[in-house]
Structure 1
């Protein structure tokens, strides 16, 4: 490694070679965030390297910085030790897990629009190094990315490596630039139809004339309508999650004024803000329901499942990262995977000398009569 930097308390060290240009944007006791360029990569991106505090109230400044970075237009990845899990399934052994400890992290993941990119390898990334009876395993380390990252580098993968000399397991991240043009599909939201101007907008857009044969006309009208609704949604609904948080803060301020002064004006203002807050809260709930494709859970362990589904609700486009060709030989890379796949099917569909053993067909019951 040719370069290095460390955070103020010396608990995070970042090394890089001269193939990278790293501009450190911010360092504090829980993270180092830098803007990175690589000679073999077409995109500029930035990464936050995390070593979070153990106590939840000590981690709150870190979550505030995440909310600040989420406004960036660049691809962003936040990776490493968050010292908290997001669901009870990410812990093995020890006392039953209290999901209240995870609420802050799960909320930040959703508010920042982050997606957990998953992993390959063993499930847990930390263990307490105790005997079998007292052993505890957790997935404390992870990588999460924003939508811009998924758009430009959807094939990013995380591999959990074996642990050597530490209670944590190293994470290996592989970044592959997406040079193809991805098709972005139109998605409608259920809450649109309840907006008072929705039907008028759709009718006005659809009624605008288009010249051509019937199928061409239909195609052009649908294309125009999807563009119109997308732009309209951005204008009317903006960032629902940010608006809800904004009204929560307003309610606190006005409630204090009502308690202190108790004027009719302050009470009217509080009533209005409450009404707006409920309106946007319902929109937020509607969007989350549709995104996660889950029913709302109200009590008990259902909350654990709901929050975990909420965090994982943003879906990535699936892809084949590597395949096993037999004898534990793994092949990576799009070209190599395609060649190995073609070779495999060419072999099994061109075996002229090998007879097929039909004895196994006797295990299948006959369901069609003569």
Structure 2
């Protein structure tokens, strides 16, 4: 095997052959793999590259579900590891019946024990691309079968450190299994303007309505829904500037007022002054106003978080949610004419062109009168004002 490593251009290797296994791990400097333990079905150790350090368990499972029980026990021994952990390889068992096509069904107990091991270890399924099934028996006719026997699992520490981690099933060549390549991408840089958030505490300020009126009532050269869009955008810009000038950092304002209150209180303790007394009462009242605004802001944020997260607050839950969110990133888009858009800017520009052409095609628009179907919610005067 040392000669095979040399042939593959790897100068370091490890194996569980002495334990009766069939696993071989190859690596090159400057990458480092420190073996911690070998069993008949696993090779475990620390894999180090750049500044990263990840505990990896390589798996080559037995074919019998009875023999695999030893594997599940070996994996579960690392459950309390508070470090990034990756478990990958050929598990020789599926997690659900949809992961097998053709052939004889596996015993239900084998799938149940595999899933129980994953749950007890708090492992997550890493997303994959490429082939849907990783193993093919090479038979012909009705005895041909496929199954997803190879996979990559990770704990929540790994998912937090590498939120974009995924693996690819490459094409099968001489083996009946698909090679797997684990990789992680740089998360895409945020594109476009930041979303506008309305803060309820603004309504408690006397200048809020005036700020909105000044922005809304300016004359516009456009009409219809475009006029509404222009006014909404202008009001949003005005409110952002107004919020920065009037509220600034609420917590900083409260801290400054508290320091002033302590100073005035010390002056009153030295000697009574009606002017200082009035200033003290006014400052105290102002602090109460600002604290109510801060409570309103924090309460709004808390409600928003609860609506999106519910009462689930475990690390495992958040790791799972992060994996789902990361799948929503669009790295590229393939159009019907086979053109490929590789950046967010290209996707944006193509969307603008598409909707400009779509909305300007008068022949494709059918004009219908829906006035009898729509109930009036505002008066004609209110409509003209808007």
- The correspondence for 1:14, drawn from 20, 25, 40, is 25
* Counterpart contact for 1:31–1:51, Cα < 8 Å: yes
Q: 1:113 and 1:340, CA in 2 relative to 1: closer, same or farther beyond 3 A? A: same
Shift of 1:57: 1.7
Higher alpha-carbon Rg: 2
What TM-score results when the alignment is normalised by the length of structure 2? Answer: 0.56
| Match status 1:31 vs 2:39 | no
Cross-structure match for 1:107: 116
Change in 2 beyond 3 A, CA 1:177/1:113 = farther
> 1:226-272 deviations in whole A, cap 9, x for unaligned?
xxxxxxx9xxxx99xxxxxxxxxxxxxxxxxxxxxxxxxxxxxxxxx
Say which SS state the counterpart of residue 112 (structure 2) adopts. Answer: helix
Aligned match of 1:127 in 124, 136, 148? 136
Distance in 1 of aligned mates of 2:187 and 2:45:
22
Q: Which runs of 4+ in 1 moved over 6 A?
A: 177-180, 221-225
CA gap of 1:337–1:2, structure 2 versus 1, over 3 A, is farther
Other-structure match for 1:55: 64
Q: How do 1:1-370 residues align onto structure 2 when only pairs under 5 Å count?
A: 1-8=10-17, 9=20, 11-39=22-50, 42-176=51-185, 212-218=290-296, 316-318=324-326, 319-320=328-329, 322-326=331-335, 328=338, 337-345=343-351, 347-348=353-354, 356-362=360-366, 369=372
Q: CA deviation at 1:27?
A: 1.5
Q: Distance in 2 between matches of 1:54 and 1:166?
A: 17
SS at match of 2:138: coil
| TM-aligned CA deviation for residue 95 of structure 1 | 3.2
Other structure's SS at 1:45 match: strand
Pairs aligned (count): 256
Equivalent-residue separation in structure 2 for 1:97 and 1:365 (angstroms) = 59
1:171 is displaced (CA, Å) by 1.1
Distance 1:323 1:365, change over 3 A: farther
Gaps of 5+ in 2: 1-9, 190-286, 304-310, 374-386
Structure 1 unaligned blocks of 5 or more = 181-209, 226-232, 240-287, 292-311
- Render the CA deviation track for 1:76-130: whole Å, top value 9, x for unaligned: 1101100000111111112344422211110011110001113112211111111
Q: CA deviation at 1:342?
A: 3.6
Question: Quick one: structure 1 residues 361 and 122, their matched pair in 2 at CA, closer, same or farther if it must change by over 3 Å?
Answer: farther
Q: Are the counterparts in 2 of residues 155 and 321 from structure 1 also a CA contact under 8 Å?
A: no
Contact 2:188–2:331, Cα closer than 8 Å, also in 1: no
Deviation at 1:213, TM superposition (A): 2.9
Counterparts of 1:179 and 1:361, CA distance in 2: 37
Q: Is 2:21–2:41's contact at 8 Å kept on the other side of the alignment?
A: no
Shift of 1:337: 2.8
The answer to whether the 8 A contact 1:152-1:178 is kept is: no
Q: 1:365 to 1:349 in 2, by over 3 A?
A: closer
Larger RCO (CA within 8 A; separation ≥ 6)? 1
